[in-house]
Structure 1
Amino acid sequence: MHRKWNFSVARLASAFITLSIRFKSTKARPSAPLGSRILTSPDDIFKHNMWDHVQWTKEDEENARQRAEENSSVQLPLTDQGKFDTGACQYWDKFYEVHQDKFFKDRHWLFLEFPELLPSWMKEQSTITGHDHQRPENLFQARSGADAEMGPHQHKDPTPTHRSVDHTYFQKEAQEQNEAATQNSSYPGHQASFRILEVGCGVGNSVFPIVNNIKETNSFLYCCDFSPRAIQLVKAHPDYDDSVCHAFVHDICEDVASFPFPPLSLDVILAVFVLSSIHPDRMQGVVERLSANLKPGGIFLFRDYGRYDLSQLRFKKGRCLSENFYTRGDGTCVYFFTKEEVHDLFSKTGLEEIQNLEDKRLQVNRGKKVVMRRVWMQSKFRKPQPS
């Protein structure tokens, strides 16, 4: 039987002593958005469901590395991997057919982590209408060794190739899309002064918290997913409002796929547990194409799985596609990032780093007295203003 990723309270004691000092000394880390539950005494470990900003020991890192090395020692044959590319849309459509909109929980925590989702004049408000300040500890459910917070966006091209970075891409793409926009200047959201795009929106677990907070703000949200069933569920939701939101089917891995808005028109792009579901060799091209739509000064918000997260260490042998890239039992795929990889992914596209954090937490099952290590990446990158 696959051993659960847990550890004794005694082993944690030495790491916990330094947590408070580490939290106070990390200047790049905001005090509230990434959580304020700091475990300073091992005796308190089962008082909450989640503890923030956890420091790993060298022994913890080595144990996790060994487990990942072990479960990736047997990879799926290349001849069997193509179906996870060509059938990606069918896998996700099947997922939404089974679960509808009941699997994921709405991400009300978004505005704590990403206040950039609101127009600048709203960020200064001390309260947000309709925002219940839920923390991410309530958002995770076990599923076949995977995690309930996944990005439902994949790709169809069965032959992934690495894309070299060409910084003239923005200019070429902008020129082509501007020509299309000129022919149809009245696009959805064209009158808004603040525009957001969420990619891989699934059934709208980010969409509706955002929609309900941007009404009456002259803001507009675009949301896309490559699963037609997911977009149907978004549009059927009682809170869907086409005066502030436009949902559409779109595969972000398709080179020629067009958006319903011109380039350089977005203030924010949001990708939450999305890029991890894309083959690593495709990620650079995806970020390039998406970033071409940001205004100068626009922000790319990213949250995804980190290296050696619990969900990576739970995989059994034979589920690995390539290094740190796996397929789940339902055919969906997931990659686990490092901080350095995230930095390179966005900076090579010409974006400037604002925040790039490795968010390590302890997730606690208080009933079973089990403690699990979670690792997520959270990053913010800005498109530079022209000099």
Structure 2
Amino acid sequence: MAAPHAIDVMDREGMEAGEILTDSSNGDAKRPQFGTRFLTDPRQVFQHNAWDNVEWTVEQEAAAKKKVLENSEPLPTEKQDEFDCRANEYWNDFYTIHENRFFKDRHWLFTEFPELAPKSYPGHESLSESANAEDIQQGVPKQEHNNEGSALPNMDAEFPGSSASYRILEVGCGVGNTVFPILKTNNDPELFVYCCDFSSTAVELVKANPDYDPDRCFAFVHDLSNVEADFPVPDESLNVLVLIFVLSALHPNKMQASISRLARLLKPGGVMLLRDYGRYDMAQLRFKKGRCLSENFYVRGDGTRVYFFTQDELNEMFTLAGLEKVQNLVDRRLQVNRGKQLTMYRVWIQCKYRKAHSQLQDTQG
């Protein structure tokens, strides 16, 4: 089995090279929020590691579409079935080979997703606080109710983190690139973090990390595509669900059911946060002939798979799952390798969708 290209490793775990915008002149590694660094003078392209909201020319977009079309001949069905059946094996091999060599804190997390930050984070109001504020304004008692007036499922039953009041679950956690920054940054005693991955090897690496604290975190193996599989938490018990470069690893036919199942876990007012590959990202354009499984769905050299989304596709999935749009944007970025004087065009999509306060579990049907 061929080892994945180095940039594939960075794509899947720890984000892409240059994601942290470091200013070499002052050593400042604090990442500005998306959409704040613009390239107005092409002669200055190598001044920073990345530029936001980069406009593509008509020629550039046409070339990208042509490249995708040229390499869109799908592999035979039997070969596609093999990659589907052996998906777990390929991901376990991936983490066995690379272990922690690709671990990299996602420093942009709390800038783009303040829902993951501690309550004391500047300018941040937690979901539970904002939900209570809305309830008070509307004259609703603090206890949460569904739209039939009956109490929501009893949270007193014992399960990991059952005593916490603010619960976050990351699906597709890898080796903990999101989980550990949250635990290290957020010391709120009311917080409990769950994380799961399809790969048992990845989950073992998370549990072996010295920052793993079973009193504040629970890691478990879970196949997101298996909607019949149980979660260790009851429905309507989570404040935040995080999917970072994980939905794209599923077979497209299984995505909708998986998102709908996850939506059931959210409390009313809870949010689902997603960051994933956008259509015509550099990673898609790098695929050669013989790697396409179906339209915009590919297999890498190590057997793992990846899909490239449009905003409309994701909006439809979240909406059908009963969630309301808070954010759905394209992060179209020009990344720069200043050492090699190379430029790379990246396209990611970032989404936030909220479960309505009045919503009963109508996605269960």
The interval holding the TM-score normalised by the smaller chain is: 0.7 to 0.9
Partner of 2:70 in structure 1?
70
Q: Residue 249 of structure 1 aligns to which amino acid in structure 2?
A: V
Aligned counterparts of 1:242 and 1:108: Cα–Cα separation in 2: 23
Aligned counterparts of 2:358 and 2:259: Cα–Cα separation in 1: 19
Report whether the alignment pairs 1:366 with 2:365. no
Partner of 1:224 in structure 2?
196
Q: Aligned-pair distance for 1:202?
A: 0.7
SS of residue in 1 equivalent to 2:174: coil
- TM-score of the superposed pair, with normalisation by structure 1: 0.75
The answer to whether the Cα contact below 8 Å between 1:208 and 1:239 also exists between their aligned partners in 2 is yes
Aligned counterparts of 1:58 and 1:85: Cα–Cα separation in 2: 36
The answer to whether the Cα contact below 8 Å between 2:114 and 2:124 also exists between their aligned partners in 1 is no
The answer to whether the Cα contact below 8 Å between 1:115 and 1:123 also exists between their aligned partners in 2 is no
Report whether the alignment pairs 1:244 with 2:216. yes
Partner of 1:25 in structure 2?
none
CA RMSD of aligned residues (A): 2.0
Q: Residue 296 of structure 1 aligns to which amino acid in structure 2?
A: P
Aligned counterparts of 2:83 and 2:318: Cα–Cα separation in 1: 25
Report whether the alignment pairs 1:207 with 2:206. no
Aligned counterparts of 1:270 and 1:292: Cα–Cα separation in 2: 14
The answer to whether the Cα contact below 8 Å between 1:215 and 1:244 also exists between their aligned partners in 2 is no
Report whether the alignment pairs 1:294 with 2:288. no
Q: 1:347 aligns with which of 316, 319, 330?
A: 319
Q: C-alpha offsets along residues 327-363 of structure 1, whole Å, 9 cap, x if unaligned?
A: 0000000000011111111111110000000110101
Report whether the alignment pairs 1:255 with 2:254. no
Q: Aligned-pair distance for 1:83?
A: 1.5
SS of residue in 1 equivalent to 2:215: coil
Partner of 2:298 in structure 1?
326
Q: Residue 44 of structure 1 aligns to which amino acid in structure 2?
A: Q
Q: C-alpha offsets along residues 233-291 of structure 1, whole Å, 9 cap, x if unaligned?
A: 00010000111110011111112211111110000000000000001111000000001
- State, as a whole percentage, how many aligned pairs show the same letter: 55
Aligned counterparts of 1:369 and 1:87: Cα–Cα separation in 2: 39
The answer to whether the Cα contact below 8 Å between 2:166 and 2:238 also exists between their aligned partners in 1 is yes
Aligned counterparts of 1:319 and 1:76: Cα–Cα separation in 2: 7
Partner of 1:174 in structure 2?
none
SS of residue in 2 equivalent to 1:221: strand
Runs of 4+ in 1 over 3 A off after TM superposition: 119-123
Partner of 2:157 in structure 1?
185
Q: Aligned-pair distance for 1:32?
A: 4.6
Partner of 1:83 in structure 2?
82
Partner of 1:235 in structure 2?
207
Report whether the alignment pairs 1:93 with 2:92. yes
Aligned counterparts of 2:198 and 2:340: Cα–Cα separation in 1: 38
Q: Residue 116 of structure 1 aligns to which amino acid in structure 2?
A: E
The answer to whether the Cα contact below 8 Å between 1:107 and 1:209 also exists between their aligned partners in 2 is yes
Query: 1:13-24 maps to which residues of 2 (within 5 A)?
Result: none
| Change in CA separation of 1:75 and 1:56 when aligned onto 2, cut-off 3 Å | same
SS of residue in 1 equivalent to 2:212: coil
The answer to whether the Cα contact below 8 Å between 1:359 and 1:377 also exists between their aligned partners in 2 is yes
Q: Aligned-pair distance for 1:33?
A: 2.2
SS of residue in 2 equivalent to 1:321: strand
> Structure 2 regions of 5+ residues with no counterpart?
1-30, 126-145, 147-151, 360-365
Q: C-alpha offsets along residues 180-225 of structure 1, whole Å, 9 cap, x if unaligned?
A: x88x911111111100000000111111001112223410100001
| Change in CA separation of 1:264 and 1:123 when aligned onto 2, cut-off 3 Å | farther
SS of residue in 1 equivalent to 2:233: coil
Partner of 2:134 in structure 1?
none
SS of residue in 2 equivalent to 1:187: coil
Q: C-alpha offsets along residues 102-154 of structure 1, whole Å, 9 cap, x if unaligned?
A: 1241212111110011355545269xxxxxxxxxxxxxxxxxxxxxxxxxxxx
The answer to whether the Cα contact below 8 Å between 2:80 and 2:293 also exists between their aligned partners in 1 is yes
The answer to whether the Cα contact below 8 Å between 2:117 and 2:124 also exists between their aligned partners in 1 is no
SS of residue in 1 equivalent to 2:100: coil
Aligned counterparts of 2:88 and 2:286: Cα–Cα separation in 1: 25
Q: Residue 289 of structure 2 aligns to which amino acid in structure 1?
A: K
In the alignment of these two chains, the number of paired residues is 304
The answer to whether the Cα contact below 8 Å between 1:362 and 1:373 also exists between their aligned partners in 2 is yes
